Amino acid sequence: MVFSSSIFLFVFLPVLLAVYYVTPPRWRNLTILIGSYIFYGWWRLDFLALLIATTLWNYFLGLRIVAAPTRQRAKRWLTLAIVGNLAVLGYFKYSNFFASSFSDAFMGGAPLSPLFEGVILPIGVSFFVFQAISYVVDLYRGDAKHADNLIDFAAFKALFPQLVAGPVLRYKDLEDQFANRTHTFEKFGEGATRFMQGLARKVLIADTAAPIADMFFAVPDPTFVESWLGLTAYAIQLYFDFSGYSSMAVGLGLMMGFRFTENFKYPYISRSVTEFWRRWHISLSSWLRDYLYIPLGGNRKGVARTYINLFLTMLLGGIWHGANWTFVIWGAWHGGLLAAERAAGIKGNEKRPIWAWAGTLLAVLIGWVLFRAVDMSSAIDMYSGMLGLHGFAIRDLYAWQVSGLSLLGIALGVAVCAVEPWFDPQAPATSPQPFLTRRVAYLSMAASVFGVLAIGKLVAESDSPFLYFQF
C-alpha cells in the first residue's frame, strides 16, 4: 500500500483516522500500532514479522542497556543490538550484491545457494534499521530514556507515515509526543494541507517527468540533448517524488497530533555541496553526522582525519542507498566534494556568488547519473552523451515519445524549485505579518487545488510507487 493509491486515500486513511479519533486517548498509540501493521503487512506478512522481530530485539536489549550495572556491560549489550540490526540490513540489502560479486570473481558466474541470491528487499528496511540503531545508541549515551512500554515503542517503530521511506525519526525526539500530544482543528488542517501538497508534488510533477527520465536512461548511446533532458527529468522526478513523500508523512503525522522533523529545505538553491546536504534528506544527513561522522572522530582529530571522516561518512551513506557500485562511487563523489570544500574553507552558510550555485548544481547532477544508472557501464554511457560524444540532437526514434505533458511536468518542477523558497512559512520576521499570512494562505489554496487534481489523475491512471521504496 502506498500513499498515492486509491485504496489508501479512500479506504485505509479515512477509516484509520475515524477509528483513531473515536478511540480514548490512552489507547490511541495501540490504534496507531495496529493500523501501521495493517499498512505494512498489506504488502507481505513475512516482512511484517521481520519488523516485529526487530522491534522486540531492540526493545529488550534496550532494557539491558539501561539496566546494566557497568558502562562496560552496557557497551556489550549495545554492540549486540547494533550487530543484530546490521545483520538484518546486511542480509536483506547486500546478499545479492556480494553473492553476485563472489560468483563473478571466483566461480565464473555460477549460481550460489538461493539463501544468498534472489533475496527480496523488504520495503523500508534501511529506514527502520537506522531508526533502531539510533534508539539503542541514544540509550547508551544517556540522550534518551527507555520507552515506557512495548506498545509505545512498537508504535514508534511501525509509525506508518514514515515507516517505508522516512524521515529517519529518533525516539528521543518523539517520546514526549507519544506520551502527550495535542489534537486541534488547526493542526489537522495544517496536516491535510501538507499531505495534499506532497501528493501534488508526487503525482503532478514527479510522475509526469518520470517517463522522460526512464526513457533516456535506458536508450543506448544517448546524444547530448537526450542525456541532459533525461538527467534534468530525473533530478526533478527524484526531488519531487521524495520531498512529496516526506511532505505527506509530515502531514499525516500532524493529522494524528505528531510534529515530525522536516526532511527537505529547497536543496536545488544550494551554493555549495555542504549546503546541499543541509537541505537534502536532512534526517539522514543528521543521522550520518551524529551516529557515524562524530563517532569516527568528526573534526576533533586533526585536519587530515576530518577529511577522511567526511569521505568515509558519505561513502557509507552511498552504500546505505543501495548494493551497487554506482552507489559506492556516488558516495565517494560527494565525500570527496565535501572534503574539498572543507579544505577550501567553505562552511555552507555563507553568501556565495551565482556561479557557485551553477557549479553546485552541476556537481549534484553529475552525481545523480550514478544514482539513477543501473550499472557503471550505463553511467559512463550517459556521461559520454552529456559531453556530446554520441551526437547532439534528439533522434527521431525517441523524439515522438517525448510528450508535451512530460515536458510541462519538468518545466513546472523547475519553476517550483525557483519560487518555493518565497513561500516558506518560516520566512524572516522582518516581512510584514499580513504579507506572510497571505503568502501562507496562497500556498494552502494552491495545495488544495493541485491536490484535488492529483487525486483525479490517480483515479484515472494507476498507482505509482515512490523511488525511495527501493532503498
Q: Is position 321 annotated as part of the catalytic site? A: yes
Residue among 404, 414, 384, 419 nearest 228 (CA): 384
CA 382 distance to own-chain centroid: 25
DSSP-derived 3-state class of residue 75: helix
Q: How many CB atoms lie within 10 A of CB 426?
A: 8
Contact 355, 361 (CB under 8 A): no
The single residue of 146, 321, 334, 390 carrying the catalytic annotation is: 321
- Kindly list the distances between the CA atom of residue 454 and the CA atoms of 197, 207, 285, 462, in Å, as whole numbers in the listed order: 10, 10, 30, 12
DSSP run (H or E) holding 40: helix 28-41
Residue among 20, 25, 17, 24 nearest 181 (CA): 25
Q: Residue 108: CB partners within 8 Å, gap ≥ 6? A: none
- Kindly list the distances between the CA atom of residue 228 and the CA atoms of 206, 215, 234, 236, 406, in Å, as whole numbers in the listed order: 17, 12, 10, 12, 15
d(CA 294, CA 57): 25
In the chain the first and final C-alpha atoms are separated, in Å, by 16
Enzyme catalytic residues = 321
